[in-house]
Amino acid sequence: LATMQAGRCPTDELSLTNCAVVSEKDLQSGQHVSVKTTPNHKYVFTVKTHHTVSAGSIAFSLPQRKWAGLSIGQEVEGMKCASLIADLSAAAYRCTQNELPLVVKDIEAMDASILKGEPASGKKQQKIDVGLMVGNSQVIFEKAENSSLTLVGKAKTKEARQTIINPDWNFEKMGIGGLDKEFSDIFRRAFASRVFPPDIVEQMGCKHVKGILLFGPPGCGKTLMARQIGKMLNAREPKVVNGPEILNKYVGESEANIRKLFAEAEEEQKRLGANSGLHIIIFDELDAICKQRGTGASSTGVHDTVVNQLLSKIDGVEQLNNILVIGMTNRPDLIDDALMRPGRFEVKMEIGLPDEKGRVQILNIHTNKMRSFNLLASDVNVKELAAETKNYSGAELEGLVRAAQSTAMNRHIKATSTVEVDMERAEKLQVTRDDFMGSLNNDIKPAFGTNQEDYSSYIMNGIIKWGDPVTHVLDDGELLVQQTKNSDRTPLVAVLLEGPPHSGKTALAAKIAEDSQFPFIKICSPDKMIGHSEISKCQAIKKVFDDAYKSQLSCVVVDDIERLLDYVPIGPRFSNLVLQALLVLLKKAPPKGRKLLIIGTTSRKDVLQEMEMLDAFSTTIHIPNISTGDQLIDALEVRWPHRFRHTNGHNIHMHVLLLKDKNNHNCALKLALRDEGAELYITTPFPKG
């Protein structure tokens, strides 16, 4: 132990070595000395000798003096170290042109068992103040916030090697259900590259995904998933922007709003480079601001410039690698094509209607709190509710739970002159199965589901099975339904029911659709398009098919096709625009994983034949009229089984006479009813065909 006097480093070359300089009389080059400045502070230096340094002095460079808090002429206590200790706590190195300050934040001791050739003990590494830097010591560099340096190779920040996935995230806690497959696909495309160490990603030449587009029917969880992605990641809170909020009446303000969204990410990337954190920007209702360029009627072209600004920010000349833009829409067809290419919104994910397993998850999420407080009755079976709620979206399932809750609470409200809650009974409040079933039947109906009123009016008189022709049609319809359900080779099945007017084609089509029990059944009928122009009629027909594509199993009845086509025999005249739209839609296969049964009806098969429309149908089924007396008697007996037999204790005898004209052609049916002498004759013209 000796007292030495601090001095100034004699040369710049010695300063670059980061060593203290001493006289040859005191120490030898390569030795190490521990310098004590105050009772509680010790600093270790490697020393070099120089002839200009006098004995009893020790010279330091300016960064060393700043780091150890030394001043020239100050007396310090120096002690030669017995073991080789390298100074990892060096304050600065001087490069050839610029100063590069390096501050050691912490040092971890290596497991000593490794030096002996033994396997590591697995203990947590110990933090130390001073250590020896050897050949295989790992140095992890962190760039200061105000530094413009770029770290390359393996010199990455320690924080960048940490996973960006929050270890505490959970689907049910986040309120997301029924989207397991979709989320796993998003994770694979958008986040897998961000989990890997940056040096491996750099060696692969891999670029992170910058944009995700979520599309699908309303209420299926697009906004919810985007909002909760921020909770899943170890990232800052996402910026959520509604599309219309971007637009501004002042010139240039809409584009400035886009630039403001990316300003923080740009500034951080310039400051920290690859160490920049992930910035998430969420655009809700993206179609409001990113319509196809050139389609806007506005003379200012605001939408076009907003799209241009967004394109340049996501993947322009100055690329940002620290952003993730999530867009949501239920009209992906309106969005500009340039946004959809790889490098921008390259991950396109459909968030569709949940299947039965997903509906179970969603119902469990919305009833979990009631279950934990014993407010859900034991007779409520979530799996039964999931089976009954085909084609319900997540929002509609939540609405169903709310409706059931309101029904249960309403039972405990006193209907007096004032509205009061019966507290004695309210303590026993429970939501029962009947509450859910009542809400299911009366309150909440799926937007893309079966509409009972849609086809019940077509079969309000029932189906009269007056003979084999009717039975055969229903049997063939059942076979086509089974083919649609079970065959993977024929996701689209189209059948045409043709026959004379009033033969029951529409009723039979509605009956086949009803018996199919498909979750989506829609009748496209001309009575709903009275007064529509050709374009609006095409749009209405297309909307029916677009809605059908969103369901896994759908049935569309295209009723009275010649009326949809505005066909009249005088002329003849028809709508070619509607014809071409129908030809396309009848042949268009549904999206992958979806199945569609189309049932068409017509009374003019010959007209459709001329229009080359029959080729669009897989098969054609003829629906005949009643043509024999026996069939008529069977129909009357099935329809009114007690009216013609044993009425008022009397037997009614029924006879059908087939009248012929002079050419021996059937011309009329004469129905004779005789009741004990009193006779009633009904004559009706014979149906054509």
Per residue in 86-130, pLDDT (tens digit) is 333 333 334 445 556 677 777 777 665 555 555 555 555 667 777
Q: In which band, very low, low, confident or very high, does the pLDDT at 276 lie, cut at 50, 70 and 90? A: confident
- DSSP state letter for 629: H
Instruction: Give me the domains of the chain, ranges plus CATH numbers.
Output: 2-81 (2.40.40.20), 87-141 (no CATH), 171-350 (3.40.50.300), 356-443 (1.10.8.60), 452-622 (3.40.50.300), 629-681 (no CATH)
> CA torsion 663→667→673→677, rounded to 10°?
-40
Say which residues have a Cβ less than 8 Å from residue 337's Cβ, sequence separation at least 6. Answer: 292
Q: In which band, very low, low, confident or very high, does the pLDDT at 578 lie, cut at 50, 70 and 90? A: very high
Higher pLDDT, 636 or 443: 443
Is 212 within 8 Å of 326 (Cβ atoms)? yes
pLDDT at 332 over 60: yes
Does residue 204 sit in helix, strand or coil?
A: helix
pLDDT averaged over the chain?
Answer: 79
Q: What is the largest CA-CA distance in the chain?
A: 152
Pick from 380, 621, 590, 576: nearest CA to 479: 621
Angle at 103 between CA 101 and CA 109, to 5 degrees: 145
Give per-residue pLDDT as tens, 129-159. Answer: 776 666 666 777 666 666 666 655 544 444 4
Distance of alpha carbon 254 from alpha carbon 306, whole angstroms: 7
How much is the pLDDT for 343?
84
Q: Which helix (H) or strand (E) holds 515?
A: helix 505-516
Is 70 within 8 Å of 6 (Cβ atoms)? yes
Share of the chain above pLDDT 70, in %: 75
Q: In which band, very low, low, confident or very high, does the pLDDT at 687 lie, cut at 50, 70 and 90? A: low
- The contacts found for 424-429 with CB under 8 angstroms, 24 or more apart, are 429/375
How much is the pLDDT for 344?
86
Distance of alpha carbon 464 from alpha carbon 475, whole angstroms: 14
pLDDT at 67 over 90: no
> CA torsion 536→539→543→544, rounded to 10°?
70
Output the DSSP codes for 255-301. HHHHHHHHHHHHHHHHHHGGGPPPEEEEEESGGGT-BPTT----SS-
Beta bridge partners of 33: 45, 80
Is 613 within 8 Å of 579 (Cβ atoms)? yes
Does residue 21 sit in helix, strand or coil?
A: strand
Does residue 573 sit in helix, strand or coil?
A: strand
Tokens describing residue 417 = 């002159």
Sign of CA dihedral 273, 274, 277, 280: positive
Beta bridge partners of 350: 215
Position 29, amino acid: S
Pick from 504, 419, 403: nearest CA to 460: 504
Give per-residue pLDDT as tens, 543-572. Answer: 999 989 988 899 999 999 999 999 998 877
Of 167-171, 202-206, 385-389, 575-579, the least confident: 167-171
Is 4 within 8 Å of 55 (Cβ atoms)? no
Is 182 within 8 Å of 221 (Cβ atoms)? no
Higher pLDDT, 303 or 528: 528
Does residue 312 sit in helix, strand or coil?
A: helix
pLDDT at 535 over 80: yes
How much is the pLDDT for 646?
45
Distance of alpha carbon 273 from alpha carbon 151, whole angstroms: 8
Angle at 227 between CA 226 and CA 228, to 5 degrees: 95
pLDDT at 598 over 50: yes
